[in-house]
């Protein structure tokens, strides 16, 4: 689905990514793991064409990735935000239209999703009146609304209470079943262990460990992912 | 392209739907109508009539006080009697008392009242009549001149007209100065008001972090330009509403107070006829006619006539076109820079560092306004009206005075050439800075961003 080939990026004298190679298989959940400041968000921004890499290429669905391919991505950034003064429905429709949906389809799908997540009553409220968890739900819906082939969630569970985190987890697995490919960046190891098919561990701009989760666990018998993470980072 | 339209739409409608937009759209025309109507309503309002009792112990003012529309003067023999009258009668408002003379000429006169001080009208009328009567007395006794002789000697009818020697038309300088100042201030305020809205909008997107989601769907340049254009359209809508609503408000005031306006118009007509007659007046004509005219206050009405003539002398079509041109392109130039400034900062307090240098050029053209008015074709005026960053305000200030065509064309071309450069530089800064958080940006960083 997505190949990241030899991507490097530096900001001034700071090397954020150094020769990153990764392969994300279609229809899987790919866990992008690593401590804070390892370069995960930079890599995700490069995949989203928000910033350009200094060198390296991206291959999307078998061809060099273009700007139109970005429309096939749904991205939920770690730092989330909405226009505070805008009404929930109006805003969600706007963001969906920016992703290329027409107004009627956007409204239709939004109502379906909002019903499912029980936030339809909030359609005409201003975003600033919503609780943080509620805003996160709205953002999640907006991210997946245009049925993207590739979904990127950056720390999706931060800020969710356990009930909503569980709801979100189920939705992610649901999306996987429907055929979406998911890149999922986190340092919450239990949730990574639960959801991911493949993982990659990034530390100090390099990929230090990658492969199918099952293989990695087999190579480190008796250790949970948390232990493997800490040991690898410490080396 | 479709996406930039979506951005424009959002920026436009979220602002136009706000109550504050409509409040501002309504307040300005109401203020304008008020400024227009209040003096006329006040002028037409009948004053309360005042009765004043004159007690003259000096013997110089006897029978000389003239009663008018608002004030009637009565005479009394003694101050004691007058005082009793003031205490007992409600219809009496004040006493003018001139004590007996100790020197040749009286030094003090008194205006007595009970409880309520007499109005300014009464005070100034009493005062001017006192001066006039005494002056006439001196003229007659010392120089043997009658009041009419005096009026004839002191009232002249010469007026300085500043005219173009070829066309023979008046320059109507006062009107042009006023118009120039209004135009320059208007463009200055508009560019700043809407420019800083762009900056706040950019900062809102940055601080709320929504920008990261949006730049996945639209290019940063499209987002920035969509915002700039959307808010610019809000500005144009605001102007259009001001013009239309002001016209409605002024007409409304005229229609609802038709009788008052009629009165004032008639009064103006009367004095106009009087002052037209004055041109034929020679010193042989009866002094009485002149005295009448003197009272009519022709000075004021002549300048009113000048104002009207001056206002009709101006090429409004040209001014409106140039105003729109300089607003649109001046706004595009500044708004894109404001957008860049907004993208560089995380919070309001830091924004000062970048907005101050932006405000300096336009502020300069406002601060140098007196110098430019003094010499609309002087070198300061010419330079400021050609340099793109100051030209919007400076050129509009000069336009009513008449500007050589080549200067206008050069100024417009330079502005047209500069605004894309500003947008280009702003876009480069914006693109990289919009996702930077937590670092304080310096001017050196800005330079690196542009160079990249």
Beta-sheet strand order (sheet of A29-33)? A73-76, A150-154, A181-186, A29-33, A198-203, A206-212
* Contacts of B173 by beta carbon, 8 Å cutoff, 6+ apart: B162
- pLDDT tens for each residue of A171-205: 899 999 999 999 999 888 888 888 899 999 998 88
Distance of CA B139 to the CA centre of its chain: 43
User: What is the pLDDT at residue B265?
Assistant: 65
Grouping H, G, I as helix, E, B as strand and the rest as coil, residue A2 is strand
Residue A31's pLDDT is 93
In chain B, the number of structural domains is 3
Asked if residue A45 is part of any domain, the answer here is no
Give the DSSP per-residue string, B204-231. Answer: HHHHTTTHHHHHHHS-HHHHHHHHHHHH
Phi and psi (nearest 5°) for A211? 145, 180
- B247 shares a domain with B279: no
Phi, psi angles (nearest 5°) of residue B110: -125, 145
Asked, for residue A53, whether it belongs to a domain, the answer is: no
Q: Does one domain contain both B74 and B195?
A: no
| Domain co-membership, B433 together with B352 | yes
Looking at residue B238, its pLDDT comes to 92
Do B382 and B233 lie in one domain? The reply is yes
Residue pair A9/A51 in contact by the 8 Å Cβ criterion: yes
* Domain presence at residue B194: yes
Q: Domain range for residue A108?
A: 82-147
Residues B297, B271: contact at Cβ < 8 Å? yes
Q: Which residues of A have a CB under 8 Å from any CB of B?
A: 45, 48-51, 70-71, 73, 75, 77, 79-86, 94-95, 97-100, 139, 142-143
Task: Give the integer Cα–Cα distance in Å for B189 and B192.
Answer: 5
Distances A189 to A31, A133, A186, B252 between C-alpha atoms, Å: 10, 22, 7, 72
Distance between CA B67 and CA B451 in Å, rounded? 82
Distant-in-sequence, close-in-space partners of A186: CB < 8 Å, separation ≥ 6: A31, A32, A33, A155, A156, A157, A192
pLDDT at site B308: 67
In this prediction, residue B22 carries a pLDDT of 94
pLDDT (0 to 100) of residue B303: 59
Residues B241 and B327 in one domain: yes
Burial classification of residue A62, based on how many CB atoms lie within 10 Å of its CB (0-12 exposed, 13-18 middle, 19 or more buried):
exposed
Q: Identify whether A92 is part of a domain.
A: yes
Q: What pLDDT, on the 0 to 100 scale, is given for residue B297?
A: 46
B212, B223, B437, B444, best to mutate vs chain A, most A CBs in 10 Å? B212
- B209 inside 8 A of chain A by CB: yes
Task: Tell me whether residue B161 is in a domain.
Answer: no
Cα(B268)–Cα(A151) distance, rounded to whole angstroms? 78
Q: Is residue B160 part of a domain?
A: no
- Residue B142: DSSP 8-state: I
B213 and A48 within 8 Å at the Cβ level: the answer is no
Domain contains A64: no
Please report whether residue B260 resides in a domain.
Answer: no
DSSP label at residue A159 = T
User: What ipTM does the predicted assembly reach?
Assistant: 0.89
What are the structure tokens assigned to B365, written together? 């053209």
The predicted structure's pLDDT at residue B280:
43
CA–centroid distance for B213 within its chain: 47
Residues B31 and B58 reside in one and the same domain:
no
* Residue A200 domain flag: no
Give me the percent of chain A exceeding a pLDDT of 90.
Answer: 50
Task: Note whether residue A107 is domain-resident.
Answer: yes
Tokens of B42: 């006040």
Residue B71 φ then ψ, to 5°: -130, 130
The pTM of this model reads 0.78
Residue A174: exposed, middle, or buried by beta-carbon count in 10 A (0-12, 13-18, 19+)?
Answer: exposed
d(CA B397, CA B167): 23
Other CB atoms closer than 10 Å to residue B84's CB: what's the count? 12
**Cβ neighbours of A214 (radius 10 Å):** 10
Does any domain span residue B199?
yes
- B43 within domain boundaries: no
Chain A: closest CA distance from residue B216 (Å): 6
Rounded to an integer, what distance in angstroms lies between the CA atom of residue B133 and that of residue B447? Answer: 77
pLDDT per residue as tens digits for the range B349-391 = 777 788 888 888 888 888 999 999 888 888 999 999 999 999 9
Residues B197 and B326 in one domain: yes
* Bridge partners, A64 (sequence order): A59
Cα-to-chain-centroid distance, residue A212: 18
Using an 8 Å CB-CB cutoff, list chain B residues near A82: 208, 210
Tally of CB atoms within 10 A around A155: 18
Q: What is the CATH number of the domain that holds B147?
A: 3.40.190.10
**Is residue B403 a part of any domain in this protein?**
yes
Cα–Cα distance measured from residue A150 to residue A40, given in angstroms and rounded to the nearest whole number: 17
- Name every chain A residue with its beta carbon within 8 A of the beta carbon of B207: 81
Listed as ranges, residues in chain B with pLDDT below 70 are 1, 43-47, 263-313, 438, 452
Distance in Å, alpha carbon of A12 to nearest chain B alpha carbon: 10
| Amino acid B275: pLDDT | 46
Condensed to tens digits (0 to 9), the pLDDT of residues A132-155 reads 888 888 999 999 999 999 999 998
Task: Give CA–CA dist A56/B390, Å, rounded.
Answer: 46
Nearest by Cα to A202 from A53, A13, A44 = A44
Domain end residue (candidates: B123, B154, B185)? B154
pLDDT at A12: 78
CB contact under 8 A, A139 and B208: no
How far, in Å, CA of B340 to CA of B431, rounded?
Answer: 9
Cα–Cα dist B307/B289, whole Å: 26
> Is the separation of the CB atoms in B204 and B339 below 8 Å?
no
Same domain, residue pair B293 and B235: no
A83 phi/psi in degrees, rounded to 5: -70, 120
Q: A31 pairs with which residues across the strands?
A: A184, A199
Closest CA in chain B for residue A128: B208
Phi, psi of A74 (to 5 degrees): -110, 125
Quick one: DSSP state of residue B70? Answer: S
Residue A103 has pLDDT above 90, yes or no: yes
Spatial distance between the Cα atoms of A226 and A186, rounded to a whole number of angstroms: 12
Taking an 8 Å cut-off on Cβ atoms, the answer to whether A139 and B215 are in contact is no
Structural contact between residues B430 and B224, judged by C-beta atoms closer than 8 angstroms: yes
Kindly provide the b/e burial profile for residues B268-301, where b requires at least 16 CB atoms within 10 angstroms of the residue's own CB. eeebbebbeebeebeeeeebeebbebbebebeeb
Residue B212 contacts A where some CB pair is shorter than 8 Å:
yes
Angstrom distance (rounded) from CA B175 to CA B401 = 10
Helix (H), strand (E) at residue B239: helix B220-256
Sign of the Cα pseudo-torsion (A110, A113, A116, A119, in order):
negative
pLDDT higher for B41 or A118?
A118
B216/A49 CB distance under 8 A = yes
Of A84, A86, A94, which has the smallest distance from its Cβ to B6's Cβ? A94
Question: What is the extent of the structural domain holding B118?
Answer: 50-154
Whether B182 is in a domain gets the answer yes
Q: Residue A81 and residue B217: Cβ atoms within 8 Å?
A: no
Q: Based on the fold, state whether residues B120 and B139 are members of the same structural domain.
A: yes
Query: Is B190 in a helix, a strand, or coil?
Result: helix
Q: How many domains does chain A have?
A: 1
pLDDT tens digits, residue range B129-149? 999 898 888 888 888 888 888
């Amino acid at each position: 689905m997505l190949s990241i080939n030899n991507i490097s990026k530096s900001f001034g004298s700071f090397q954020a990514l150094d020769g990153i190679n990764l392969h994300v298989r279609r229809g899987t959940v790919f866990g992008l793991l690593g401590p804070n400041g390892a370069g995960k968000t930079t890599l995700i921004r490069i995949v989203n064409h928000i910033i350009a890499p200094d060198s390296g290429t991206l291959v999307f669905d078998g061809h060099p990735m273009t700007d139109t391919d970005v429309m096939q991505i749904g991205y939920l950034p770690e730092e989330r935000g909405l226009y505070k003064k805008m009404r929930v429905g109006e805003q969600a429709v706007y963001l969906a239209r920016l992703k290329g949906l027409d107004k009627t389809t956007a409204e239709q799908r939004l109502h379906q999703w909002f019903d499912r997540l029980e936030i339809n009553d909030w359609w005409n409220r201003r975003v600033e009146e919503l609780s943080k968890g509620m805003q996160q739900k709205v953002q999640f819906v907006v991210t997946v609304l245009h049925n993207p082939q590739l979904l990127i969630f950056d720390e999706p569970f931060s800020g969710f209470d356990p009930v909503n985190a569980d709801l979100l987890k189920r939705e992610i697995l649901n999306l996987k079943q429907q055929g979406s490919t998911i890149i999922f960046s986190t340092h919450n190891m239990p949730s990574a262990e639960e959801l991911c098919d493949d993982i990659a561990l990034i530390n100090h701009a390099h990929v230090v460990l990658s492969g199918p989760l099952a293989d990695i666990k087999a190579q480190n018998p008796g250790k949970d992912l948390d232990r493997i993470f800490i040991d690898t980072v410490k080396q | 392209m479709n996406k930039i339209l979506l951005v424009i739409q959002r920026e436009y409608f979220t602002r136009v739907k706000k109550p504050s937009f409509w409040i501002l759209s309504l307040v300005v025309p109401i203020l304008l109508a008020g400024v227009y109507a209040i003096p006329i309503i006040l002028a037409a309002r009948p004053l309360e009539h005042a009765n004043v009792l004159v007690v003259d112990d000096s013997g110089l003012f006897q029978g000389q006080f003239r009663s008018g529309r608002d004030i009637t003067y009565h005479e009394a023999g003694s101050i004691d009697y007058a005082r009793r009258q003031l205490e007992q009668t409600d219809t009496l408002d004040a006493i003018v008392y001139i004590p007996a003379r100790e020197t040749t000429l009286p030094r003090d006169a008194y205006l007595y009242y009970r409880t309520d001080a007499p109005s300014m009208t009464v005070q100034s009328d009493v005062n001017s009549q006192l001066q006039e009567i005494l002056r006439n007395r001196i003229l007659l006794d010392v120089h043997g001149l009658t009041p009419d002789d005096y009026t004839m000697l002191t009232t002249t009818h010469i007026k300085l007209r500043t005219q173009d020697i070829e066309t023979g038309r008046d320059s109507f300088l006062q009107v042009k100065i006023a118009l120039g100042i209004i135009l320059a201030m208007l463009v200055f305020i508009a560019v700043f008001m809407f420019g800083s809205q762009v900056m706040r909008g950019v900062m809102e997107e940055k601080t709320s972090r929504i920008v990261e989601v949006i730049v996945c769907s639209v290019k940063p340049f499209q987002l920035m330009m969509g915002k700039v254009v959307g808010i610019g359209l809000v500005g144009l809508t605001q102007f259009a509403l001001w013009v239309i609503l002001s016209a409605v408000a002024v007409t409304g005031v005229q229609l609802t107070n038709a009788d008052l306006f009629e009165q004032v118009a008639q009064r103006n007509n009367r004095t106009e006829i009087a002052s037209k007659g004055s041109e034929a007046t020679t010193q042989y004509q009866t002094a009485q006619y002149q005295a009448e005219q003197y009272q009519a206050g022709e000075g004021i009405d002549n300048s009113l006539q000048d104002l009207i003539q001056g206002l009709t002398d101006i090429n409004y079509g040209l001014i409106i076109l140039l105003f729109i041109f300089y607003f649109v392109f001046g706004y595009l130039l500044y708004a894109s820079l404001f957008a860049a400034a907004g993208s560089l900062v995380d919070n309001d307090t830091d924004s000062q560092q970048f907005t101050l240098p932006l405000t300096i050029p336009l502020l300069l053209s406002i601060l140098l306004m007196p110098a430019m008015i003094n010499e609309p074709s002087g070198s300061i005026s010419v330079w400021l009206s050609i340099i793109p960053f100051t030209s919007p305000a400076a050129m509009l200030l000069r336009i009513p005075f008449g500007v050589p065509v080549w200067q206008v064309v050069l100024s417009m071309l330079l502005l047209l050439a500069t605004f894309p450069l500003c947008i280009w530089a702003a876009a480069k800064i914006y693109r990289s800075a919009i996702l930077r958080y937590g670092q304080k940006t310096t001017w050196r960083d800005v330079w690196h961003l542009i160079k990249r």
